[in-house]
Amino acid sequence: MAFRFLRGVDGDRLDRIEATLQRMFTDNRHAFDLAMSTLVGGAAPKTVGKELRATDQKVNEAEREIRRELVIHAGVHGGIDTPAILVYMSIVKDVERIGDYTKNLFDLAADGASITEGPHAVALRELRDELSAMIPDVAETFYQRDETRARPQLAREDELLDIFDDRVSALVKGTDQSPQAVAVALAYRYLKRIVAHLSNVLSAVVMPVDQLDYFDEDPEDRR
């Protein structure tokens, strides 16, 4: 269920909100690529840490900027535009949280984890590439409010959530005794949360306002 702002005389502000949100996605992708370059690519954390933190700070500042713009927009349009404002308030938090979990991935590497070899290295590099491409794809789908495009994206994200859960369970239960089990399990868990927040963004395209964040839950828990 795509939503639209009432533009009226406030069109420039709405354009700024859209542009700022898209910039958040772009910065998140850059930070994600930096974090994964340390965890599975062998880059030294000290070589990218400063840039990653600066990029995440830009995401946080952009979130505050959007919230300020939304408050002003609400003052102009009052309750007429409340559903769209609620959507943006929810979505901007999801986009910001992607940056937080990206930092968690970087922190694993900063603490000494290096998953460049072993049975999970190839899988994690493939997931790195897929999620790096997924971030701008979700951004474009949200920008276009493209419900047709969103549904297969959500289906793939559901598949990934199941994959992450299965791999974490195997590590916790000991059926997978790969090296660095703690770091690998945490990496999958953080990747899962990134995908879940991307799903939340897409939920705004296909779900009514009262069911925002519906896709944040695991499929079997959605009621």
At residue 221, the pLDDT reads: 53
Higher pLDDT, 15 or 156: 156
Q: Is residue 156 part of a domain?
A: yes
pLDDT digits (tens, 9 = 90+) for 6-57: 555 566 778 888 999 999 999 999 999 999 999 999 999 999 999 999 999 9
Between 73 and 168, the higher pLDDT residue: 168
- The pLDDT of 179-190, averaged and rounded, is 95
Q: CA 115 to CA 142: how far, in whole Å? A: 33
Residue at 223 is within a domain: no
Tens-digit pLDDT profile for residues 90-121: 899 999 999 999 999 999 999 999 999 988 99
Inform me whether the pLDDT recorded for 5 exceeds 70.
no
Q: What is the mean pLDDT of the chain?
A: 89
**137 inside domain:** yes
What DSSP line would sit under 99-132, residue for residue? Answer: HHHHHHHHHHHHTT---SSSTTHHHHHHHHHHHH
Q: Is the pTM of this model over 0.95?
A: no
pLDDT of residue 61: 97
Instruction: State which residues form the domain around 80.
Output: 11-218
Q: How confident is the model at residue 74 (pLDDT cuts 50, 70, 90)?
A: confident
**pLDDT tens-digit profile of 126-152?**
999 999 999 999 999 999 999 999 999
- What is the count of structural domains for the chain? 1
Q: Is residue 140 domain-resident? A: yes
Residue 178 belongs to a domain with what CATH number?
A: 1.20.58.220
Residue 87 belongs to a domain: yes
Structure tokens at 148: 């047709």
